[in-house]
Amino acid sequence: MQVQEQKAPHAAAPVPQERSLVLVGLMGAGKSTVGRRLASALRLPFHDADQEIEAAAGCTISDFFDRYGETAFRDGERKVIARLLSGPRHVLATGGGAFMDPQTRCLIKDRGLSIWLRADISLLLERVTKRPTRPLLKSGDPRATMEKLIHERYPIYAEADIVVDSNGGPHEAVMHQIITKLAALGVKSYS
């Protein structure tokens, strides 16, 4: 009689109620603002990946891009997001390019529930042109850059667990859409 080798069980992915909520989408979609409101409504801590990266790097994201380039930034971003998602349940707003990185996307899928805040070009441009600190918009035509990013990123963002339209209305309305979609997934309470 042969004895079959038993494989060690893989750690099961956390059930929805135990996962952090990870907001993804282009710059200007409202991830940080909606994320703060969502965290407050669900009584969860809030983290902004960009702020955490700046704290870890000791400089602004714009300065980091200028000094070290986008590749080094994405590596640091991946490490910060991994650290945050290893901690207790929270709401996390990511930078616009975070979900594009295959390793980061896989990490988010394993440890979180991803929520894409989808927005149209007009709204995004209205919001991003108010802040001149966006590294990807420092040169060239902002509209052309945003259109290119939409073309490249929206098919990847569409892999998110939840999609909510950020339509320029009150951020509270976007937050309530997220809570409704979480309830439809069986996520009853985060408190």
What does the domain layout of the chain look like in residue ranges?
18-184
Task: Provide the whole-model pTM.
Answer: 0.85
Q: Which residues contact 84 (CB under 8 A, 6 or more apart)?
A: 20, 47, 49, 52, 90, 92
Look up the CATH superfamily of 18-184.
P-loop containing nucleotide triphosphate hydrolases (3.40.50.300)
Residuewise pLDDT in 10s, the chain (191 residues): 333 333 333 344 444 568 999 999 998 899 999 999 999 999 999 999 999 999 988 998 888 888 998 889 889 999 999 999 999 999 999 999 999 999 999 999 999 999 999 999 888 888 777 666 555 556 677 788 889 999 999 999 999 999 999 877 788 899 999 999 998 888 765 44
The rounded distance, in Å, linking the Cα atoms of 15 and 188 is: 12
